[in-house]
Amino acid sequence: MSRESEKNILSTVDNIISTVENFLNENNIKNKNIILGFSSGPDSTALALIVNELKEKLNLNITLAYFNHGWREEAKEEEFFTKEFAKKYGFDVIIKKAPKNSLKTEEIARELRYEFFENCAKKQKTDVVLLAHNKNDNIETLVYRVIKGTSIKGLCAIPSKRGIYYRPLLEVLKSDILEFLNIKNQEYKIDLSNKDTKYKRNLIREEILPMFEKINPNYVNNIEILIKNAISTREIVEKELNELKNEVFNGEILIQDKFLSKTKAQRYEILNDFLGDNLKYRNYKNIKKFDDFILENKHSKISVNKKLFLEIKKNKIYYKEAKL
């Protein structure tokens, strides 16, 4: 191996470890128990290796959390790999399988997986769950949201931190992760279902993004700039939004006449925030539907989801649980 090749190898390893170390330090993740969402795939395997190299320096106790959705035969091999990997590096490990009667949809799978991570965090008495999303995942998320219809908030793509969830690899390219694993001679598992284009995200990854590559080979970095610009713009919007909320809310109740005194753009931002994750699809069309409802009614209610209504009564707008 040439001296230049050796330098490139050291550079790749040092860069990716330094990126994760800086992230953990910036977020004060040290002297802690941490949960690491582990799938046995390349991203989470690389993150586990990196954190392992930093665990003594940052005084971290690591627990791998593997969730078996019960969809694939390969999951048995992944469970075995996870246990052996944890044993090799001295990690604690928690493994759980989805209930047999759970619906096999991407949305339900995500809900069950995150519920599992939160239960693991409680069990290990920690407020830190590391997830291994990378820069390419971020681009896929942005494209997915644009196709579905999104807002400035949606253009911010995957947050590097939200609640107990932290994503140290969000600035790292998939190609660098694979190179890191190759340098470390580390085995990992491949989820073959990630190639199945019946799933929308896989379709974006396998068929749409390669077309972007043909148009501009530097598309990943350019879209990342768009995401960062959206985040900066969102910070400005959030500042104004907080001021608006102080004017139109009384506690958790939205005051109708004060809300209606605002401009259309301001109302849409207020509603986007107020409806939050209770509304499955927070696109322009749905936000407009709720704004029109508030404009046209003084005593009525509208369904937000299966469990909640938005009710207007005596100049007040608030959530009300649906009778199941």
3-state secondary structure of 187: coil
* Complete edge-to-edge strand list for the sheet that includes strand 60-68: 92-97, 60-68, 32-37, 129-130, 165-166, 161-162
- Parallel, antiparallel or unpaired: strands 32-37 and 60-68: parallel
Structural domain 3-134+158-192, CATH architecture: 3-Layer(aba) Sandwich (3.40)
Q: Is the pTM of this model over 0.75?
A: yes
Distance CA 125, CA 119 (A): 10
Domain positions in the chain: 3-134+158-192, 251-321
263-296: pLDDT as tens digits: 999 999 999 999 988 887 778 889 999 999 999 9
117-134: pLDDT as tens digits: 999 999 999 999 999 999
Q: Work out the number of other CB atoms within 10 angstroms of the CB of residue 136.
A: 17
- Which tokens is 83 given? 């246990």
CATH dotted code for 251-321: 3.30.465
The alpha helices in 124-218, defined as continuous H runs, are 135-148, 152-155, 174-183, 200-203, 209-215
- Which tokens is 9 given? 């190898």
8-39: pLDDT as tens digits: 555 778 899 999 999 999 999 999 999 999 99
Percent of the chain's residues with pLDDT above 90 = 77
Q: What pLDDT, on the 0 to 100 scale, is given for residue 269?
A: 92
208's CB contacts (< 8 A; 6+ apart) are 143
Highest mean pLDDT among 144-148, 309-313, 319-323: 309-313
Report which DSSP code applies to 33. E
Q: What is the CA radius of gyration of the chain?
A: 23
260, 321, 272: which is closest to 296 by C-alpha? Answer: 260
Check if the beta carbon of residue 93 is closer than 8 Å to that of residue 86.
yes
Distance CA 17, CA 180 (A): 10
Distance CA 6, CA 2 (A): 6
86-124: pLDDT as tens digits: 999 999 999 999 888 877 777 788 889 999 999 999 999
Q: What pLDDT, on the 0 to 100 scale, is given for residue 324?
A: 60
